[in-house]
């Protein structure tokens, strides 16, 4: 059994927007091919076959896949090229509103050459062509979905009772409680090592999920915060398993617009010098050590460790509280009444940090940051809300600063989805807009070679770091809690269930139980 604080939204990959939904969907459906454990998105040789048994570039803009002839949908229907063509049409249909649609913009067409051969035509050559062709789309069954109106995909009954072609079949969904899957004994790539998997939901309560693991009632908890790691390490029956890498980073994002009047700049954070002073007053390393442990990793910009641009040199704002105080003084902020909080024109330097109550690491980090800022005379108020309210306030622009996380896709192209002007109204909740940064990102995305792309990404990250669009916090790889009965456990940084079909239960641990079975 897998303990999960959150529940899936829907099990139709084209429209699912939750991490849990994607993880479960990845066990039911398949992509044409997938990235390997190193999460390398630019080395074509690192990709592994899934529904496609082979692929090759005919020329620089034509990529041809050959489907595995034995692939079958769980109802017995063969998987064919028409399913791939149909899937691309669904994902790129504006009425469906697939979150992955922007990532497929460079693919001009997908056509079936015969029942087992499908060709992708690209607008231009670039380093991540194979990645874009396979990573963002789980192939869907045309014969079961072609009659569903495109505007109704998100609410289609199929999303609560899916039929895929992956290693696990859907069994049942008990809302608010659990989702059960069964290993497909006829799976063309080999029967999975664990024949039954149940996801148990704990209503947004991470400690309750941890208790399930520690009591032996769950076999996997995908994320452990620092205290949870300590408890698992002390347990006789569970162990800590680090992810192979990480696509996730956390950050304190400034709102560039006034929450009261979004036609005007934020009264504080419209000022670049103030943003930089606040950023330099935060001892990020101390926060990450306290929350993630001694092996915690600082984010170097808006990127996870798995991004292939993470190893390049980027300018960083230093932790320098003395310089932060001088900058604030130069901006006219003084402690005129001796209360320890800076003020200007009778207004204290005070603002709110919005934090989701469901995130233990962010809640703990926020308290440490609050104390650090108080030392330089800044009054940081922590506003904890449930996750639904947190998202609603982000979308409404009703915040000063929010403590966010971003992850999932191991490609640096995701930077455009959260930090460019085109992302305003999407994930760019703070309305950060800088034309020079946008030009550098566009140049990186349009580059035909890795060297050209690296140069543009270096320019882009340097710009956004110097501009203090956010305070980049943690890029630490997550750690999972796993019951010792499970063997051959590896966890890929972008998807906790990607390798689960290869896990198995130790022979000495094969006991009768109703949650996860060999």
Helix and strand element counts for the chain (H, E) = 14, 23
Q: Find the domain containing 77 and state its range.
A: 30-157
| pLDDT greater than 60 at residue 516 | no
Q: Where are the alpha helices (DSSP H) in 196-340?
A: 206-214, 226-233, 272-280, 284-292, 321-330
pLDDT digits 0-9 by tens, 6-24? 899 999 999 998 889 999 9
Q: Which one has a higher pLDDT value, 306 or 382?
A: 382
pLDDT in tens, 444-494: 999 999 999 999 999 999 999 999 999 999 999 889 999 999 999 999 988
The mean pLDDT value for 401-413 works out to: 90
* Single pTM value for the model: 0.84
Do 256 and 351 have their domain in common?
A: yes
CATH of the domain at 345: 3.10.105.10
Same domain, 188 and 237: yes
Verify that 367 and 341 share a domain, yes or no: yes
Give which of 159, 163, 211, 285 is closest to 5, Cα–Cα. Answer: 211
Q: Give the pLDDT confidence of 79-107 residue by residue, as tens digits.
A: 999 999 999 999 999 999 898 888 899 99
Q: What is the pLDDT of residue 508?
A: 65
Q: How many domains does one find in the chain?
A: 3
385 and 457 co-located in one domain: yes
Cβ distance 56 to 72 under 8 Å? no
Residue 72 CB partners (closer than 8 Å, separation 6+) = 78, 79, 165, 186, 188
> Residue 67: which CATH number?
3.90.76.10
**What's the confidence (pLDDT) of residue 509?**
57
- Tens digit of each residue's pLDDT (9 = 90 or more) over 293-317: 888 999 999 999 999 999 888 888 9
**CATH number for position 211:** 3.40.190.10
Residues 6+ away with beta carbon under 8 Å from 463: 434, 436, 437, 440
Please tell me whether residues 408 and 283 are part of one structural domain: yes
Q: Are residues 302 and 390 in the same domain?
A: yes
Per-residue pLDDT tens over the stretch 220-249: 998 888 788 899 999 999 999 998 878 889
Of 125, 157, 189, which one is at a domain's C-terminal end?
Answer: 157
Select from 303, 302, 270 the least CA-distant residue to 400: 270
Give me Rg for the CA atoms of the chain: 24
Q: Is residue 390 part of a domain?
A: yes
Mean pLDDT of 409-415: 91
Report residue 270's pLDDT band, with 50, 70 and 90 as the boundaries. very high
Please give the mean pLDDT across all residues of the chain: 93
Helix (H) or strand (E) holding 132: helix 129-134
User: According to the model, what pLDDT value does residue 4 have?
Assistant: 92
pLDDT at 506: 86
Q: For residue 151, what are the contacts with CB-CB under 8 A and spacing of at least 6?
A: 95, 96
pLDDT of residue 250 exceeding 80, the answer is yes
* Confidence (pLDDT) at 322: 97
Q: Are residues 448 and 353 in the same domain?
A: yes
Distance of alpha carbon 120 from alpha carbon 137, whole angstroms:
13
Domain's final residue, options 125, 140, 157: 157
- Is the pLDDT confidence value at 512 over 80? no
Angle between helices 450-466 and 435-446 (to 10 degrees): 160
Residues 333, 467 within the same domain: yes
Q: Which residues contact 356 (CB under 8 A, 6 or more apart)?
A: 362, 384, 385, 386, 387, 390, 403
Q: Do 419 and 509 sit in the same domain of this protein?
A: no
């Amino acid at each position: 059994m897998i303990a999960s604080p959150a529940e899936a939204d829907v099990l139709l990959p084209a429209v699912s927007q939750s991490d849990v939904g994607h993880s479960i969907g990845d066990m039911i459906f398949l992509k044409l091919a997938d990235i390997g454990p190193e999460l390398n998105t630019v080395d074509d040789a690192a990709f592994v076959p899934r529904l496609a048994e082979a692929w090759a570039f005919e020329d620089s803009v034509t990529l041809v896949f050959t489907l595995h002839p034995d692939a079958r949908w769980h109802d017995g229907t063969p998987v064919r090229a028409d399913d791939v063509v149909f899937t691309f049409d669904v994902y790129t249909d504006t009425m469906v509103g697939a979150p992955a649609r922007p990532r497929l913009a460079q693919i001009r067409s997908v056509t079936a050459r015969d029942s087992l051969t499908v060709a992708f035509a690209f607008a231009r050559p670039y380093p991540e062509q194979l990645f874009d062709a396979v990573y963002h789309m789980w192939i869907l069954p045309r014969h079961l979905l072609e009659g569903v109106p495109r505007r109704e995909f998100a609410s289609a009954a199929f999303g609560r009772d899916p039929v895929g072609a992956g290693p696990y079949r859907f069994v049942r969904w008990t809302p608010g409680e659990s989702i059960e899957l069964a290993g497909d004994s006829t799976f063309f790539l080999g029967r999975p090592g664990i024949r039954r998997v149940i996801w148990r939901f704990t209503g947004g309560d991470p400690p309750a999920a941890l208790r399930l693991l520690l009591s032996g009632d769950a076999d996997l908890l995908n994320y452990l915060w620092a205290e949870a790691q300590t408890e698992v390490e002390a347990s006789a029956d569970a162990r800590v398993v680090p992810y192979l890498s990480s696509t996730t980073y956390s950050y304190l994002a400034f709102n560039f617009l006034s929450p009261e009047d979004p036609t005007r700049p934020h009264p504080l954070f419209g000022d670049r010098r103030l943003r930089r002073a606040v950023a330099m007053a935060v001892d990020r390393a101390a926060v990450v050590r306290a929350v993630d442990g001694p092996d915690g990793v600082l984010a170097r910009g808006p990127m996870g460790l798995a991004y292939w641009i993470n190893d390049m040199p980027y300018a960083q704002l230093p932790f320098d509280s003395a310089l932060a105080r001088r900058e604030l003084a130069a901006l006219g902020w003084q402690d005129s009444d001796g209360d320890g909080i800076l003020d200007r024109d009778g207004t204290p330097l005070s603002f709110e940090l919005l934090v989701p109550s469901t995130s233990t690491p962010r809640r703990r980090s926020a308290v440490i940051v609050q104390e650090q800022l108080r030392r330089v005379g800044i009054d940081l108020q922590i506003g904890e809300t449930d996750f639904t309210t947190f998202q609603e306030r982000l979308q409404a622009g009703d915040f000063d600063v929010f403590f966010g996380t971003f992850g999932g896709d191991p490609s640096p192209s995701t930077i455009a989805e959260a930090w460019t002007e085109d992302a305003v109204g999407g994930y760019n909740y703070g309305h950060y807009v800088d034309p020079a940064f946008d030009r550098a990102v566009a140049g990186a995305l349009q580059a035909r070679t890795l060297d050209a792309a690296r140069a543009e990404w270096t320019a882009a990250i340097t710009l956004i770091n110097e501009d203090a669009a956010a305070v980049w916090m943690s890029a630490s790889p997550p750690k999972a809690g796993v019951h010792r009965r499970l063997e051959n456990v590896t966890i890929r940084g972008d998807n906790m269930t990607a390798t689960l079909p290869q896990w198995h239960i130790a022979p000495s641990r094969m006991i009768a139980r109703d949650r996860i079975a060999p």
